[in-house]
Amino acid sequence: MKARTFSSVPTLEERIVEHLRTKGASLDDGELAEALGVHRPAIAETCRLLEARGLVVRNMAGGTRPVTAIMTQASSATVVTAPGSAPAPAVDDKGTTKSTFPDHARRVLSARWGTTLQCRHAVLPGGVAHPFELVSGNGRIVGDVVWLADRGRTADARSAAIAEAVLIVGHVTNADRRFLVFGDGWDVLSRWLAGYRLLLDGVELWFLDGDRLERLA
């Protein structure tokens, strides 16, 4: 009796590499997630693993492209794990969107700083009360979330939105820590920092991608 053969199910790594190889362009995590039907955090973590093995290149905004060696391979895009390499870590399958980002940022930043950050009002000069997404109970830590996709279609519009957010949180009175946390728009944010870092005047900028939190300034 002839033995039956089964075609193997491609891994997420293989699917990402194959999709990039056929598209021949740099795609961001959101585009890959939509094309492959996988939550964005899983895409981001898998792409980071592929980059660590030299199979793809990622830019600062999370865009990913295949390296030249992959592009020139024959039709196969199978990714082979190097002997002795560690297994891929478990990936949170919860997607982060504009609507869920503030709650997610509260959980991550509260855990980092050992306090409870909530949406509360903080006082600006002149006694004006302004709502911020990330405020400690004693008002000594005040921050806000910024989702740049909502702040205009052009880089200039989003750059202006960054400046406005920095200006507002930077004028909170009686706070020891003032900060902004971004969930998208790394390219625009990086360019803004290159030209206007001196305008921060003590305001911290953070970037949150899944559970990966990085301080940028």
The residue to which tokens 């492209």 are assigned: 65
| Domain carrying residue 165 | 101-215
Determine the pLDDT at residue 49.
79
95 three-state secondary structure: coil
Under 8 Å between Cβ of 103 and 54:
no
Under 8 Å between Cβ of 89 and 45:
yes
Q: Is the dihedral of CA 65, 69, 75, 77 positive or negative?
A: negative
Angle between helices 29-36 and 40-52 (to 10 degrees): 110
Confirm whether 84 is domain-assigned: no
- Are 119 and 197 contained in the same domain? yes
Percent of the chain with pLDDT over 70: 76
The residue to which tokens 């794990």 are assigned: 81
Q: What is the CATH number of the domain that holds 67?
A: 1.10.10.10
Instruction: Provide the number of structural domains found in the chain.
Output: 2
- Are 112 and 202 contained in the same domain? yes
- Are 55 and 105 contained in the same domain? no
Percent of the chain with pLDDT over 90: 14
Total-model pTM: 0.55
- Are 184 and 124 contained in the same domain? yes
Under 8 Å between Cβ of 28 and 63:
yes
Determine the pLDDT at residue 66.
73
Confirm whether 126 is domain-assigned: yes
Confirm whether 123 is domain-assigned: yes
